[in-house]
A = this chain, B = another copy of it.
Amino acid sequence: MTKWCYSFRQGEAEGGAALGDVLGSKGAGLAEMARLGLPVPPGFTISSDACRYFHAHSGQMPPGLTEAVDAALAKLAADAGHAFGDPKWPLLVAVRPSGRVSTPGLMGTALNIGLNDQTVTALASTCGDEVFAYDCYRRLVELFCCVALDHEHYEFEEALDKHKEAKGYVRDAELSAADWREVLGIYFEIGKGRFPQDPREQLWAAIRAAFLSWHSPRAQAYRALHDIAEDIGAAVVVQAMVFGNIGGESGAGVAFSRNPATGARELFGEFLPNAQGDDVTSGLRTPWPIRESAIGGKPAAGSLEASLPKAFTELDRCAGCVERHYRDMQNMEFTVEAGRLWMLQTKSGRRTTTAALKIAIDMANEGLIDREAALNRIEPASLDQLLHPTIDPSDRPLVLASGLPASPGAACGEIVFSNRDAESSAALGRKAILVRIETSPDDIAGMHAAEGVLTARGGMTSHAAVVARGMGKPCVTAATGLRIDYEDQSFTVGGRRFVKGDVITVDGSSGKVMAGAVRMLRPALTGEFATLMDWADRVRRLRVRANAETPSDARAALKFGAEGIGLARTEHMFFEGERIVAVREMILADNAAGRRAALAKLLPMQREDFKELFEIMAGLPVTIRLLDPPLHEFLPKTDAELASVAKALGADAAKLNKRAQELAESNPMLGFRGVRLAVAFPEIVDMQARAIFEAAIEAAIETGRATHVEIMVPLVFAKAELDLVKARVEATAKAVELETGIASRYRIGAMIELPRAALLAGEIARSAEFLSFGTNDLTQTTLGISRDDAGAFLRSYVAKGVLPTDPFVTLDVAGVGELIALGCERARQARPDITLGVCGEHGGDPDSIAFFDRIGVDYVSCSPFRAPIARLAAAQTALGRKSPERKDS
């Protein structure tokens, strides 16, 4: 026979944390506390099975429940010393829904159940406080009407206010018992006489309301957002009332066993004297801190510690007890009734990332948990908060607009609208925020020079967002209502106009754009952070590299613990200053000789770039990807720019225009780029290979450490392509050896970013010493989604459940994942010692990392600023973190 009710009282309980599904979070917490001998008011929890039955049977209560509740009430009466419905000395109960996961949307709490016109006088005489008794009664009527009869709180609040106004009262405390009786009469009218006088009827209506609250729109929305199953149902806790509103020795509060903002090991919380629990959270009265000196050492007279020291000591003891029991920081609710502490709830407390980190490390050092548990306590993605400057929460800035939180961190600076202005600001040591309608590869230099980026268009995966994340620059995209006028060098938003030079702050973590310079907090990578990373590095199998091509990125990569560079995009090096002129000369050349002449100008610059990279990364692998983007990306876009470039090049504008038209593509993503360029213009490969080898030799001499050069060929889909490039690279290596007398040691591999490449990875591996999966492009081609154009439908696809998550954030395991797994398997079969890496954005996503670890990828490479996230995620997956399931979609 199904067990419907689980009783508990101080010292003993049926069930506990192990029955979380059945008892819900609140019921399980109460059972645990009861068994720990902590002071909990007696009560019982109705199993969530009853709720499931209720919903599966059109609102019928399951057979046997009535009898079980009767029995539990009888036991409760015995424990409490008086009975529910007793007209002389009535036992009042609270009825609260209890979801498996704490769910804010789960309303439906009813207090003081058991009061009616008769028992209210009994209560008044028992406790000798008529005002208190009627206050309790009106609270019951209001809550009951709202919870069980679909009324709204404002109806009752308005009636109360009206009464107070009529009487000239300001505070509730001024109402007399007679006033409350009068108010109660109005409340009954609002409830259209439907408030039941029978306590049992009240109880069952409250239980039914608690069941129904499981399907309230707010609860459903919350579950959808947090991926909580719909069919669990809520348990219901029925518990003897304790009263915090019974005078000066009473009160209610919320406590944390440690500081949830800083993680400091101290009891933390708030206390409201002479109040019930909902008064604390309603915000109508300002609560006191729990501890006497919680705010900057200032003594707090109304604190629990100062006003009720005995209850405080007991609370401190209880907090330590539950924290040790749960081995985690606890968030508790309590009531003090006439000087006596009662614990009403305990659960794991929410905390900032800073606090989470400190608590995890501290608890491990205290021996409360082991290091593995400490590692698993931190959600890797949350480290992002620590790695970027953050808005000081004590500042209250003017928010101008909200956009997408495209790249985390906050930055402030003067508004600029062009790369040139961003760069000249940087040259003068002034901080700038680059504001663009949207960005293109032309803007790389400006983005680098700016402190942060703000765009009017583009999604989380737009060019601005991706590049900014790669650079670790704060970025807000798609800022609503932002109208940019380049000509006027200004933008307007919400009716306000900002011009070049005005100071704004962007918060890429929240998506907010603010006026002026907002105060910020800087990240510290020492202390607990360093400890956690150290522990993570000891357990992970998966190696972590960074995507970096500039010296500052490379240094950041080292700082954030990357074990090499997994992707250095050489095209970024082509855009700066005089280089772009030579690049354009090359594109305009009529033949290989002309291209060679232009490339010769680029050679020394590329060599210097590489040399600096090799020197910074001395001793670590550096993977250099050969030129990837279609050539038209290097040409000017508008007619005016074209004309000016033609003039600068001394070239015929018509010819330049013709070449630009020849190179224009309807789908550049699928066009003439990557290895296809290398096959058509092998002289580019020659130049890049020479720059790499010469730089590696010089760097090795200068640093005295061997270079680990890896040359990566992009967009390969056939072994033959790789072979053609490989032959040029080998010939160049030989030539450089002949000239310098030093043999270059290097590895050559392919970037796998097309479905065919993944399928043919076995063939390709026969010519490749490593393969690196470019998951961004592989996602684009496997799903047929252009990242730049996905805005129109991708968000709605996730919302409608067509895709479980944004496939550009977390790897699409069902599609792209299968191709990668297949590719890895085939590559290993063909060449067992091959190195397999991942260098798309997914390399920094914890869920994706769990998948890569499972299929045996050797390393992931991500933005330097995500390297710590990857390190922690890799540790967690080594400790058993699961990769996302292949969802049926």
Contact = CB atoms under 8 A, between A and B. Distances in A.
Interface of A: 665-672, 676, 679-680, 715, 717-721, 724, 753-756, 759-760, 763, 777, 780-786, 788-789, 792-793, 796-797, 800-803, 812, 814-816, 818-819, 888-889
Q: How many identical subunits does the complex contain?
A: 2
A756 B802 contact: no
A670 B788 CA distance: 9
A217 to B, nearest CB: 21
A829 to B, nearest CB: 15
Contacts of A724: 800, 802
B670 A669 contact: yes
B672 A763 contact: no
A781 to B, nearest CB: 5
The prevalent SS among residues of A at the interface is helix
A804 to B, nearest CB: 10
A760 B783 CA distance: 11
Contact of A789 (B670, B782, B819): B670
A372 to B, nearest CB: 35
Contacts of A781: 670, 755, 781-782, 784
B800 A679 contact: yes
16 contacts: A666-B786, A667-B670, A669-B669, A670-B780, A679-B793, A679-B796, A679-B802, A680-B793, A717-B783, A717-B784, A719-B889, A724-B802, A763-B814, A763-B888, A777-B784, A781-B781
A718 B818 CA distance: 15
Contacts of A672: 789, 792-793
Contact of A785 (B670, B680, B801, B802): B670
Contacts of A676: 792-793, 797
A134 to B, nearest CB: 52
Contacts of A788: 665-667
Contacts of A753: 784
Contacts of A669: 666-667, 669-670, 784, 786
A644 to B, nearest CB: 23
A236 to B, nearest CB: 34
Contact of A763 (B668, B680, B801, B889): B889
Contact of A755 (B717, B721, B819): B819
Nearest to A718: B889
A660 to B, nearest CB: 14
Given A666-B789, A815-B717, A679 B797 contact: yes
B755 A665 contact: no
A751 to B, nearest CB: 12
For the complex of A and B, 6 pairs with smallest distance between CB atoms = A756-B815, A667-B786, A670-B786, A671-B789, A755-B755, A754-B784
Contact of A803 (B680, B718, B763): B718
A783 B756 contact: yes
Given A679-B797, A792-B680, A889-B718, A784 B814 contact: no
A759 B668 contact: no
A720 B802 contact: yes
A789 B781 CA distance: 16
A627 to B, nearest CB: 14
A386 B667 CA distance: 37
Contacts of A763: 814, 888-889
